[in-house]
């Protein structure tokens, strides 16, 4: 009789479970996202489908990306015994029980045990150490799930005996698939109800969920359960309802429309104009609206080269460091590296002298290809037969490590593309560059010289478009 009541209670709990738990994928075919590790033909997928989990594994990724779901799919697929522990609730005594049972199961039935430890980084070093020998001797195969970098939060000996798989936040399309599936599923979702999920409400939820499927499904559940049906018996999930359900207001920001490009433009122009306050405001709007941080980081890298350049060479270094730091940390803490780079670039001295490249490119297009002067050619292969490299003067042999000689094609001698600004570090270049150019003019007998004309912004855009399409 007790078993009957227990079974009834379990069935009720399943029905009353949160939508995210009810809709948890049960097979790899239902699993959404993480194609880089469980896509067709990938190593982990093959191991799961063949029930040959080759070693202990650590699943590392942000909340709501499918770590626990993937572990449960393995549990459904495997013939091994599957045990689950929570590093938040269970400690060494419970671990000892599981290990002892695993040893007896192996001895009596020759059956392997897979142990899933959720939030494994919550265990301290002593608790993780207690797990190590049983992983090492094969008594258990570990599946550890963690939102923290295992290379920092899990002991090295355990990491070295495991395969680390990094899960990524779901993209908006993937989150949308899960929401649509929940609305259509009659057994586990809301397929038996009449629900009108407005397009802008759906868009808002998938954007604000920022890759967390559980967050998106929880918001949908709250929206459905808290909204009264209208006179036709239809539950209307409007943008207002969606905003209340996920506790975030929508901002006008269509990633494929004018608002997206206008906001990004305002962000770039604020940094170019050395206004850190405005740059922070537009940055906040983009992040709030669910913009991909990597898109913002790419814009910072571009601005560091295009608008700061040698006025502060550290600008590119800081922007690149922000990219690397973000990839290492992720959101939400990764916002600090983005903010630091934004403030640094906004307050750095500015120079657009790197645009000199487009002057050189334009001249190349106008004149066509020009042969490399003979003394500049590679002499390692054809020095004896063709005289390549003959007459080249090695600058480091001279005092000052500079030798005035010809580097441009003859027809371009006396043409200067690069005009250093007098901003920041670049101001230090002006005098020594003019000294080198004057010495070169004297050595080569150059009487007429000129700066290549500046290009209009529209001309540079045209050249860039040609580079993108080629």
CATH number at residue 298: 1.20.272.10
User: Can you give the pLDDT at residue 5?
Assistant: 46
Q: Classify residue 28: in a domain, yes or no.
A: no
Return the C-alpha torsion angle 193, 195, 201, 205, nearest 10.
10
Residue at token pair 């006396």? 414
Q: Classify residue 424: in a domain, yes or no.
A: yes
Q: Classify residue 21: in a domain, yes or no.
A: no
Same structural domain, 40 and 144: yes
Q: Classify residue 17: in a domain, yes or no.
A: no
* Residue range 393-412, pLDDT digits in tens: 888 988 889 889 898 888 88
Same structural domain, 294 and 186: no
Average pLDDT over residues 237-262: 70
SS3 track for 212-264 = CHHHHHHHHHHHHHCCCCCCCCCEEECHHHHHHHHCCCCCCCCCCCHHHHHHH
Q: Classify residue 19: in a domain, yes or no.
A: no
Spell out a b/e string for 198-226, using b for 16 or more CB atoms within 10 Å of the CB, else e: eeebbbbbbbbbbbbbbbbbbbbbbbbee
d(CA 221, CA 19): 6
Q: Where are the alpha helices (DSSP H) in 374-426?
A: 379-386
Structure tokens at 264: 């990004």
* Residue range 412-442, pLDDT digits in tens: 888 888 888 889 888 889 888 999 999 999 9
Question: Where among 282, 316, 347 does a domain terminate?
Answer: 347
Number of domains in the chain: 4
Same structural domain, 228 and 281: no
Q: What is the CA radius of gyration of the chain?
A: 31
CATH number at residue 227: 1.10.8.60
Containing structural domain, residue 78:
33-166
Q: Classify residue 275: in a domain, yes or no.
A: yes
Q: Classify residue 10: in a domain, yes or no.
A: no
* Residue range 326-371, pLDDT digits in tens: 988 888 889 999 999 999 999 999 998 888 888 888 888 888 777 8
Same structural domain, 38 and 104: yes
Same structural domain, 209 and 225: yes
Same structural domain, 157 and 196: no
Phi, psi of 145 (to 5 degrees): -115, 135
CATH number at residue 429: 1.10.3710.10
Average pLDDT over residues 102-124: 87
Mean residue pLDDT across the chain: 85
For residues 400 and 382, the model is more confident at 400
* Residue range 65-96, pLDDT digits in tens: 888 898 888 888 888 888 888 888 888 888 88
Structure tokens at 207: 């954007």
User: Can you give the pLDDT at residue 258?
Assistant: 59
pLDDT surpassing 90 at residue 181 = yes
User: Can you give the pLDDT at residue 10?
Assistant: 52
Q: Of 176, 295, 331, which is closest to residue 242 (Cα–Cα)? A: 176
Same structural domain, 74 and 140: yes
Q: Classify residue 309: in a domain, yes or no.
A: yes
d(CA 453, CA 52): 67
Same structural domain, 422 and 343: no
């Amino acid at each position: 009789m007790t078993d009957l009541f227990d079974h009834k209670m379990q069935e009720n709990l399943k029905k009353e479970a949160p939508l995210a738990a009810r809709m948890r994928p049960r097979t790899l075919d239902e699993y959404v996202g993480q194609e880089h590790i469980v896509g067709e033909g990938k190593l982990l997928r093959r191991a799961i489908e063949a029930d040959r989990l080759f070693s202990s594994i650590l699943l590392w990724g942000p909340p709501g990306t499918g770590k626990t779901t993937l572990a449960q799919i393995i549990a459904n697929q495997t013939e091994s015994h599957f045990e689950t522990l929570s590093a938040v609730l269970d400690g060494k005594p419970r671990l000892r029980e599981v290990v002892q049972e695993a040893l007896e199961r192996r001895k009596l039935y020759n059956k392997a045990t897979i142990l899933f430890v959720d939030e494994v980084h919550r265990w301290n070093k002593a608790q993780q150490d207690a797990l190590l020998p049983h992983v090492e001797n094969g008594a258990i195969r570990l599946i550890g799930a963690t939102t923290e970098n295992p290379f920092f939060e899990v002991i090295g000996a355990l990491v070295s005996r495991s395969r680390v798989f990094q899960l990524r936040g779901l993209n908006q399309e993937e989150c949308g698939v899960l929401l649509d599936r929940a609305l259509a599923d009659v057994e586990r979702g809301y397929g038996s109800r009449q629900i009108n999920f407005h397009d802008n409400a759906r868009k808002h939820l998938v954007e604000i969920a920022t890759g967390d499927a559980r967050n998106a499904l929880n918001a949908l559940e709250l929206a459905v359960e808290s909204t009264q049906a209208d006179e036709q018996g239809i539950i209307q999930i409007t943008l207002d309802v969606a905003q209340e359900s996920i506790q975030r207001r929508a901002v006008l920001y269509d990633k494929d429309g004018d608002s997206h490009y206008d906001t990004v433009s305002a962000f770039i122009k604020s940094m170019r104009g050395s206004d850190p306050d405005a740059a922070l405001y537009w940055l906040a709007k983009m992040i709030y609206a669910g913009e991909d941080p990597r898109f913002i980081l790419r814009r910072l890298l571009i601005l560091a080269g295009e608008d700061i350049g040698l006025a502060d060479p550290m600008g590119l270094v800081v922007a690149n460091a922000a990219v690397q730091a973000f990839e290492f940390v992720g959101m939400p803490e990764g916002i600090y590296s983005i903010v630091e780079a934004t403030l640094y670039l906004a307050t750095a001295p500015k120079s657009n002298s790197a645009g000199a490249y487009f002057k050189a490119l334009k001249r190349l297009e106008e004149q066509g290809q020009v042969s490399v002067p003979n003394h500049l050619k590679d002499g390692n292969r054809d020095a004896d037969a063709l005289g390549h490299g003959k007459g080249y003067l090695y600058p480091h042999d001279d005092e000052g490590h500079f030798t005035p000689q010809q580097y441009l094609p003859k027809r371009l001698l006396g043409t200067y593309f690069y005009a250093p600004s007098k901003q920041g570090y670049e101001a230090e270049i002006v005098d020594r560059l003019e000294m080198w150019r004057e010495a070169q003019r004297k050595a080569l007998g150059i009487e007429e010289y000129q700066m290549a004309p500046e290009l209009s912004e529209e001309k540079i855009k045209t050249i860039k478009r040609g580079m993108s399409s080629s």
